[in-house]
Structure 1
Amino acid sequence: MGDKANAHPGAAGRARAADHPTSVRNVVLVGHSGSGKTTLVEALALTAGAVNRAGRVEDGATLSDFDDIEHRQQRSVQLSLVPVEWNGIKVNLLDTPGYADFVGELRAGLRAADAALFVVSASDGVDGATRMVWDECAAVRMPRAIVVTHLESARADLEEMTRICAQAFGGDDPDAVLPLYLPLRGPAGPDGHAPVTGLIGLLSQQLFDYSTGERVESDPDADRLPLIAEARDRLIEGIIAESEDESLMDRYVGGEPIDLKTLIDDLERAVARGVFFPVLAAAPAPQGARQGLGTVELLDLVTGGFPTPLEREAPRVTTVDGRPRELKPCDPGGPLVAEVVKTSSDPYVGRVSLVRVFSGTLRPDETVHVSGHGLTDRGHEDHDVDERVGALSAPFGKQQRAVTHCIAGDLASVSKLNRAETGDTLSAKDDPLLMEPWEMPDPLLPLAIQAHSKPDEDKLSQGLARLVAEDPTMRLEQNQSTHQVVLWCLGEAHADVALERLRARYGVQVDVVPHRVSLRETFADRSAGRGRHVKQSGGHGQYAICEIEVEPLPNGSGIEFVDKVVGGAVPRQFIPSVEKGVRAQAAKGVAAGYPLVDVRVTLLDGKAHSVDSSDAAFQTAGALALREAAGDSRIHLLEPVVEVSVLVGDDYVGAVMSDLSGRRGRVLGTEQTSGARTLVRAEVPEIEIGRYAVDLRSLSHGTARFHRAYARHEPMPPQVAERLREQLRTS
């Protein structure tokens, strides 16, 4: 770490292919949108020598050469990998989007990483969504550290932000979240604000001054030592409390000085075990400088304190038929097990898959087995095929740098895997294996689309298939009831990116149309109808008369057809024709054009002609009879009702319940859960929650989640049904 008495060797150049898992660190950067994650990655790359002062490398690539859509959106929308090298260690920096709509990219980063850097803006603080991700990491004991950014802000207060982070992330043990450094401030400006120009190491009691654009280390003045004594003592106590050496606390309390190396070693072990969470500060390098404030200290922490891939428990692995398979942790010589954590398309090389290798070694031009991912409900087919690996490379902005291999614990991009999608497992073709998939959020915002023109219609199917292959958080639905193509997304920004990718990447222009829910019709009471189809136009005519009775049935009964004809009034061969006509009319609807359900249709009587009666005539008569019965009865519109479960912080329970009631919802109950959260269960008409994914995020400041499941269809209130019919008449 930065307190290692200047142990770092400085810039180490661009990252290479790792030779052993101990020389790899996989780190995901987490934080809300605008917290400074991408800027921090650029600063770390500059300090590590991966880019020059202009942000470029020898081949002209820059870290800013990301997706064109990101430039138009003015925010990160996808996971990106930047490999750098420091102290002889390859560090894979996984930069994730901070906006909630792209949480799928965040989860992919968490899957690929072994530790997390939580990036917190000194001017914005800690939001609820970041706390939720922290809790997810805590559940799997992922090692974490906190980086405070935006120190140049006039409101920036590193000490106060450290206190806020301890309160937000410390839980029952705020002493597990402590700073490793205090800010070193320069002279105050005209506004009275004293900028942070360096750091004071609490363990080494050394000053690290970045005011000149280069890191300068020196001993502190005597008058500074009392200022850091209290924070230093608290940090040492926090480290010793998590030490595996139980005698260390007794020695410390007894007044025995603990040497610096022992403290640093214990600190690194506590961080790697996920029981101690240091707070650091970082800022980009000023113009013309090579090192940003705190970047050396942060790289030292990552390489010295974060665990190697060998220390991570691998996800559960089975054979493709479900039998458990035991593997050594992160063994480069073991059977190949790798996972596709991200899929993208390149206009020149086609599909590119970012993979994390968990076992074995992946090499170019070898044939691997691709196993499916269990997301068939989202339009992603399961896979069980062999494919030939193309080139292996390490991404850097838009550039791909060729590598010779990728060992267990490392990440690389793979080209020409035309069938593999995000979440798929790559394994040896003669030993196919399957990794347990990671949890993906449910897309709950519907986006109904249609092709803009005939040429677009021809390309739409292929474009949508490629789109959902890249993004497992998106679900494609071909709704058979409404005859709409629906993309289910995580939010409005997610939907905007999907439309932009269809247009810019796949050349498909689509129009967004109102999303329709699957309404139904049913009879409110018993009714009778007579269908008379008699025509004579030369030659054989058409003759069929039938009389029916219709009565409502319980929800979910469908349509029953009962024959009670006596005396052969309707010949036996034409009774199925009447039923066919009734069912065909029911599918078209009898009032507002929605399918008719939950009725019993009884054929009572009718008439036939020995010459002019036919199958077609009795089908027509059956349909006419059903329409006449509907004209003499009240017809209920049935709307789908969904069961909604909302997990929300206790502070927002009242607002959520009030909002659900305003959507004609019925709150069924609440359950207290861990983490000061409540599960609210309700039943809500589907027509009322089309935008609930967006509205709930706003209502709860991004801290609530919800799930929905179809419950049943039930009658729509008369005033709502009339309003809907009026919309149909005027549209």
Structure 2
Amino acid sequence: MLDVLKNQRTYALIGHGGCGKTTVAEMLLYVAGATPRLGKIEDGTTVLDYEPEEIKRRGSVQPGFATFQWEKNRHFLVDTPGDLSFSGDLGYILASVDAVLFVVDAVDGVKPLTRKLWQEVSKFRLPTIFLITKMDRDRADYQMALEGIKHQLGVKPFLQNVPIGKAESFKGVVNIVENKAYVFDANGKATETPIPGDMADEVEGLRESMMEEIAVCDESLMERYLEDPASVTLDDLLAATRKAVVCGELYPVMVASGLKCMGGQRILNAAQLFFPSPLDAPVGQKMVDGADGSAVAVSPDSPPACFVFKTQFDQFAGQLSIMRVLTGTIAPDAALFNTRSEAKERFGGILLLHGKETQPCKEPVGPGAIIAVAKLKETRTGDTLCDEKKPFTLAKPKLPEPMISYALAPAEKGDEDKVFQAMSKLLDEDVTLRLTRNEETGDMLLSG
């Protein structure tokens, strides 16, 4: 299992509403062969935005999950809502992934909500690749978006790719690390091509800056670079870049057009190359912090522990508890202890998520896996499930406090209990909601 885990990737797509996250996610799924056609928001055919309300709004109102293979390696992808009204539990999602693909719109650039989302991501110190998307659109301005990342988000961008052309003439990228150019065909497939002559000087200057930025993060590489720059190979650069990304010292910037399927292959390659596995830590053994100040080592051989970060209701499977395997190995018939309810929960199987579809997983899964388990009776969002003999409770991220409240009243007097019962599913799905009763007026209050 160690070899599988070392090549496994678990990451979230994050960005403000309308920046093109879901379109990028659909492109990645299509390029990876996880879906037979490229889903489009305008047509209501996306894999990850499938609820009627999402199709109507043309935007995500809940996280979308996908499990797929890229180059025979398993990827777990979480597409997060970009509207703050639906992202109150973002902290739970960030605690459940190993990296972030942060999407910035080439037309609108960095917006106030982009800054707010980046502040939240920064708290978790997750390795991040910035993706400037919508490069094919009118008014697409790569330089403006890049300056926004640099000055408004306070990030020093590491230029992994730079665009060839802009707006309707966007047709490819130059990979600065590889020192190669690629153009996209009508299906988005990348083919190597000579670096355009009018970009040669710019690329040479960017490449020199890139070499220096990487060398600064690796002392041994810096010594070799200063002594003999020609001795530094591409493999050396890629290894040093990955190390710096995992440590949060470099933030690669890439470009794409999700709608035209341009750049998906390059993004997946970068995620595989630079994002950490669930076992990787900047220094030493990766640990998970407990609520009591303890910590456990992340390993498939450790006692099992899972964090339930989302609850959804499926019309066929019923309640789905969506969780990340924190450590240990989870079998389809596992029996784990809920540290909050002190109940023992027996799994009736493990499900892998792909939009609204679920697929039974017959093999044990290890750290980093995003799985769903149906019909757990005593488990809610935010709970930790673990080995009863080795109890462990994750130190949960703090969620935002409610900002507004509405009074609820039953249609008929005496039906208050029915209202409470009906609201229970909603409260399970959105952990940021609160249902209380005002002692003075007796009103039921829904706050969020």
* Cross-structure match for 2:432: 473
* Cross-structure match for 1:414: 373
Instruction: Give the unaligned 5+ runs of structure 1.
Output: 1-16, 187-192, 287-291, 373-382, 490-731
Mapping of 1:395-434 within 5 angstroms?
395-404=353-362, 405-434=364-393
Structure 2 counterpart SS, 1:408: coil
1:327 and 1:251, CA in 2 relative to 1: closer, same or farther beyond 3 A? Answer: closer
| 1:280 to 2:254 alignment | yes
1:315 and 1:328, CA in 2 relative to 1: closer, same or farther beyond 3 A? Answer: closer
Structure 2 counterpart SS, 1:435: coil
* Cross-structure match for 2:406: 447
2:344 paired residue among 386, 403, 406: 386
2:307 paired residue among 339, 362, 366: 339
2:278 paired residue among 295, 309, 319: 309
| 1:226 to 2:188 alignment | no
- Tell me which amino acid in the other structure corresponds to 2:265: V
| 1:199 to 2:173 alignment | yes
- Tell me which amino acid in the other structure corresponds to 1:249: M
Q: Is the 8 A contact 1:159 1:182 kept in 2?
A: no
* Cross-structure match for 1:297: 266
Mapping of 1:487-506 within 5 angstroms?
487-489=446-448
Structure 1 Cα separation of the partners of residues 360 and 92 of structure 2: 23
1:47 shift after superposition: 0.7
| 1:436 to 2:420 alignment | no
Q: Is the 8 A contact 1:371 1:424 kept in 2?
A: yes
Structure 2 Cα separation of the partners of residues 293 and 253 of structure 1: 37
Structure 1 Cα separation of the partners of residues 297 and 105 of structure 2: 40
Structure 2 counterpart SS, 1:352: strand
Structure 2 counterpart SS, 1:216: strand
Q: Kindly, what percent of the aligned residue pairs are identical?
A: 29
1:219 and 1:311, CA in 2 relative to 1: closer, same or farther beyond 3 A? Answer: same
Larger of the two Rg values belongs to structure: 1
- String of CA shifts for 1:565-584, please: whole Å, max 9, x gaps: xxxxxxxxxxxxxxxxxxxx
Structure 1 counterpart SS, 2:95: helix
Q: Is the 8 A contact 2:324 2:369 kept in 1?
A: yes
1:221 and 1:281, CA in 2 relative to 1: closer, same or farther beyond 3 A? Answer: closer
- String of CA shifts for 1:367-387, please: whole Å, max 9, x gaps: 221122xxxxxxxxxx22112
- Tell me which amino acid in the other structure corresponds to 2:316: Y
Mapping of 1:642-657 within 5 angstroms?
none
* Cross-structure match for 1:81: 65
2:88 paired residue among 104, 111, 128: 104
| 1:185 to 2:185 alignment | no
Structure 2 Cα separation of the partners of residues 133 and 65 of structure 1: 20
1:350 and 1:221, CA in 2 relative to 1: closer, same or farther beyond 3 A? Answer: closer
* Cross-structure match for 2:225: 252
Structure 2 counterpart SS, 1:83: strand
1:149 paired residue among 104, 115, 133: 133
- Tell me which amino acid in the other structure corresponds to 1:197: K
1:336 and 1:237, CA in 2 relative to 1: closer, same or farther beyond 3 A? Answer: same
- RMSD (CA atoms): 2.4
2:183 paired residue among 176, 184, 209: 209
Q: Is the 8 A contact 2:136 2:168 kept in 1?
A: no
1:261 and 1:430, CA in 2 relative to 1: closer, same or farther beyond 3 A? Answer: closer
Structure 1 counterpart SS, 2:66: strand
Structure 2 counterpart SS, 1:309: coil
Q: Which has the higher contact order (CA 8 A, sep 6+)?
A: 2
- String of CA shifts for 1:358-416, please: whole Å, max 9, x gaps: 111222233221122xxxxxxxxxx2211221221111111101102321221101111
Structure 2 Cα separation of the partners of residues 70 and 105 of structure 1: 18
Q: Is the 8 A contact 2:136 2:169 kept in 1?
A: yes
Structure 1 Cα separation of the partners of residues 235 and 297 of structure 2: 32
Structure 2 counterpart SS, 1:333: coil
Instruction: Give the unaligned 5+ runs of structure 2.
Output: none
1:62 shift after superposition: 5.9
Structure 2 Cα separation of the partners of residues 100 and 182 of structure 1: 31
Q: Is the 8 A contact 1:184 1:197 kept in 2?
A: yes
1:199 and 1:235, CA in 2 relative to 1: closer, same or farther beyond 3 A? Answer: same
| 1:235 to 2:210 alignment | yes
Q: Is the 8 A contact 2:89 2:431 kept in 1?
A: no
Structure 2 Cα separation of the partners of residues 138 and 62 of structure 1: 29
1:179 shift after superposition: 1.6
1:254 shift after superposition: 5.1
1:159 and 1:252, CA in 2 relative to 1: closer, same or farther beyond 3 A? Answer: farther
Q: Is the 8 A contact 1:422 1:472 kept in 2?
A: yes
Structure 1 counterpart SS, 2:90: helix
Structure 1 Cα separation of the partners of residues 229 and 242 of structure 2: 21
Q: Is the 8 A contact 1:29 1:94 kept in 2?
A: yes
1:285 shift after superposition: 5.5
Aligned residues: 437
Q: Is the 8 A contact 1:117 1:146 kept in 2?
A: yes
- Tell me which amino acid in the other structure corresponds to 2:273: G
Q: Is the 8 A contact 1:145 1:278 kept in 2?
A: yes
Structure 2 Cα separation of the partners of residues 210 and 33 of structure 1: 27
Structure 2 Cα separation of the partners of residues 370 and 284 of structure 1: 41
Structure 2 Cα separation of the partners of residues 198 and 26 of structure 1: 27
1:253 shift after superposition: 4.3
Structure 2 Cα separation of the partners of residues 314 and 469 of structure 1: 29
